[in-house]
Amino acid sequence: MAEKQPYRGAKIPSDENRVQIRRTVCDICGAGCNVDAYIENGRVIKVTGCKDPLYGNGYLCARGHANRPYIYHAERVRTPLRRSGKRGEGLFEPISWEEALDEIGKRLTECRRRWDASAVAFTGGFNPWDRAALQRLARAFGSPNYANGSAMKCAGTIAGGVAAGCPCTADLRHSGVVLMWGCNLYNKGNTVVDPVLTQKRGAKVIAIDPRVTVSTQRLADLHLQLRPGTDAALAHGLARILVEKGWIDKAYIEQHVQGFFEYRAYINDFTPERVEQLTGVPANQLQAAAHMIMHNGPMSLMIAGSAFSQMRNGVQTRRAVEALCAITGNYDVRGGMLPQAALSAEERVLEEFVFSVAAESKRAGVGAQRYPLFARFSGQCQIADLPRQIRQGVPYPVRALCSFGLNIHDFPGDGSWAEALRDLDFFVDADLFLTRTARYADIVLPVCSSFERQMLHVTPEHKIYYTPAVITPEGQARPDLDIICALASRIAPEDPLLGSGSAYLYDYWLSRLDLSLDILRHAAEPVQLAEEAYHPGEYTARGYATASGRYELRASWMVQTGQSALPEYREPRAEAERKKYPFVLCVGNRETFGFHSRTYRIPWIRAMHPLPTVDLHPEDAQLLGIAQGDRVRLTTDLGSIFLYASLTRSIQRGMAAMLPDYQEADICSILPADCVDPCSGIPALRAMSCAITKAD
């Protein structure tokens, strides 16, 4: 017995203690990695990657390991709060849930009565089930203004929609060559690197990325290190070689492609020598990539969502890249890019759930007039355009905002966001912490972490499983879905389904999938959803959902909205801008330890990157008299912030790259809000301009 004594205080389940291991999910970054949570006396004492091979590989990134201090952080909001000072001061008083919900219901209803339902906007977060409930709440209330952060990555949805009528996805498992464009899979966490790429199966991988990363070094057979924002020129250069060599699918082009001859005439100017001047990629490397594509097909594309979406010419660049698959006959074929014309089983359930509520508003969502392609293909209002409309009231007023986890410091010109929030008649924010955004709210609602709420999860293979709450919520925190249902009973009482509560909703959704919560609770492994197998070529045989019924290199939707019909290349920055601000500023490259302010408030996570830094190439730094660790000034037209120099040869000369969300160095406060992709309205965070000088 004495030899067991040491284990009584250890974080190891045994007969001598009360430690239990319960499986849950980390949702700090939205990847949804499975976690083994060690629970003692109702509290999390340790987390590890899930050891069950059906749910995980046993590893977690630093974010996942930060869940325990994240959940029990002293700054958690543990009770509903009502503002007692000026907006932004952060002065609040605790109130009861009933007081908070009743006041929200009263204020939002008053706003609808005074103005219109469109005067209220709703924004949501990661979980697709919660998003669907919030979007239905907006529709039931009568507002066209619903948005979530995922739309900031929708260049692929728009590009695929205008070209082929739907987005597409890579059939990596059967590809012979993969163009890994702007991806650093190893910075997303340990559980999301595709095993098809890590094993490689003899397939070739061409990495196109301005940076040298772990992914370019471990996965790539060839790395084309181009200048930021010149991706479309590189794609056109590859296309010219493929056309010139006859390495294209002439039969597919003749039968299924519109605008090829105009496209061919346009790309003819993108010779290897000119592409080298534009992109910095040597002509011989471009030729080598074209040969690799030709001799190792079929070809597919792995493209980072944010990389193209957050560029000045993002949608057109995505079209230029995907055109490579169209002209080579690698669209809608095994091992190529497969169209996503049909919704998955769970997507159909959620779409039916949202759109079974009739849209009463005759007004279009915020940003629809300025960015019609975004409105058409995202189905949301443009959240980046929301502060402008709040302040200007054009084309109609927006006077109230109901938000779940809004982070205004994700957006350039966050000062205009702060002004907009101050100007609102009413703002309610639900979050785990009293963030810099929440400080502007009239009411703050405390929400649960993923460990504190039940959730449904669907894997990329369309298997569904359930995780219960593994601990009691901190204080009075409630799940997002419970809050949405409680609000529905107050502001949309005519929707009895949404107001029936979260437990009923889970069973409602699952019943549409021929399942129940009870089945999932007792399932030993994720349950495969019924899906009709897609056979490559089916969509092509039916005809594409475009005006011509073909893959449109000359896109009708682009013509209708006043954009360039062909996927034209545009210089990332004008010459005058380059002279004034010589550095291309890239904001937002992820690290495995950080995810906005969610993790920066955790001391041991912050210790991994304690100071706000900017990455510079050593040769650029030498010309400026800057050494490693020096304090530097980063300047734009809107002002300056101070950072510390981090010298690295992993980036191109002329680049400056940094992480966002350092409160003492708020980069978004000095970035222009109007530097956006004209097709989507998405801020060009990966292609801004700045000057760097050594600070005194």
pLDDT in tens, 415-447: 899 999 999 999 999 999 999 999 999 999 999
Task: List, in sequence order, the alpha helices (H) in 424-532.
Answer: 480-491, 502-511, 517-522
CA–CA gap between residue 644 and residue 627 (Å, rounded) = 10
Rounded CA-CA distance 336/179 in Å is 11
Is the pLDDT score of 189 beyond 80?
no
Residue 481's pLDDT is: 96
Q: Which two tokens stand for residue 336?
A: 């190529």
Fold of 575-694: Barwin-like endoglucanases (2.40.40)
The yes-or-no answer to whether 81-153+344-528 and 575-694 have a common fold is no
Mean pLDDT, residues 226-249 taken together: 96
pLDDT at position 194 over 70: no
Q: C-alpha distances in angstroms, 343 versus 166, 333, 348?
A: 11, 19, 6
Backbone angles phi, psi at 51, to 5 degrees: -85, -15
pLDDT at 188 (0 to 100): 63
> pLDDT value at position 260?
98
In the chain, what percentage of residues exceed pLDDT 70? Answer: 96
What three-state secondary structure class fits 127?
Answer: coil
In order, the DSSP letters of 194-228 are -HHHHH-TT-EEEEE-SS--HHHHHH-SEEE-PPT
Q: What is the pLDDT of residue 595?
A: 74
Give, as one character, the DSSP assignment of residue 188: S
The per-residue pLDDT for range 564-605, each reduced to its tens digit, is 999 999 999 999 999 999 999 999 876 777 777 778 888 888
Give the span between the Cα atoms of 619 and 634, in whole angstroms. 17
Task: Report the distance separating Cα 515 and Cα 509, nearest Å.
Answer: 9
Q: Please check the confidence at residue 28 and state whether its pLDDT lies above 70.
A: yes
Span 128-145, pLDDT tens digits:
999 999 999 999 999 999
Q: 81-153+344-528 sits in which CATH class? A: alpha beta
Q: How far is CA 119 from CA 165, 285, 369, 429, in A?
A: 32, 54, 16, 17
- pLDDT at residue number 1: 41
**What is the predicted pLDDT for the residue at 57?**
81
**Total Cβ atoms within 10 A of residue 356:** 11
Residues 260-315 pLDDT 10s: 999 999 999 999 999 999 999 999 999 999 999 999 989 999 998 777 888 999 99
Q: In the chain, where are the structural domains located?
A: 2-71, 81-153+344-528, 168-339, 575-694
Dihedral, 219, 223, 224, 226 alpha carbons, nearest 10: 80
The pLDDT score that the predictor gives to residue 185 is 78
Q: Which helix (H) or strand (E) holds 348?
A: helix 345-355
Give me the pLDDT at residue 9, please. Answer: 58
619, burial (CB in 10 Å: exposed 0-12, middle 13-18, buried 19+): exposed
What three-state secondary structure class fits 121? strand
In this predicted model, what pLDDT tens digit does every residue of 145-183 receive, in sequence order?
Answer: 999 877 788 899 999 999 999 999 999 999 999 999 988
Pick the CATH number of 168-339 from 3.40.50.300, 1.10.760.10, 3.40.228.10, 1.10.10.10: 3.40.228.10
When the pLDDT of each residue in the chain is averaged and rounded to a whole number, the result is 92
Q: Residue 190 — pLDDT band, cuts 50, 70, 90? A: low
- Please state the rounded mean pLDDT for residues 482-499: 95
Its pTM stands at 0.93
- Looking at domain 2-71, does it have CATH number 2.20.25.90? yes
Answer yes or no: is pLDDT of 2 > 50: no
Pairing of strands 204-208, 426-431: unpaired
Structure confidence at residue 532 (pLDDT): 84
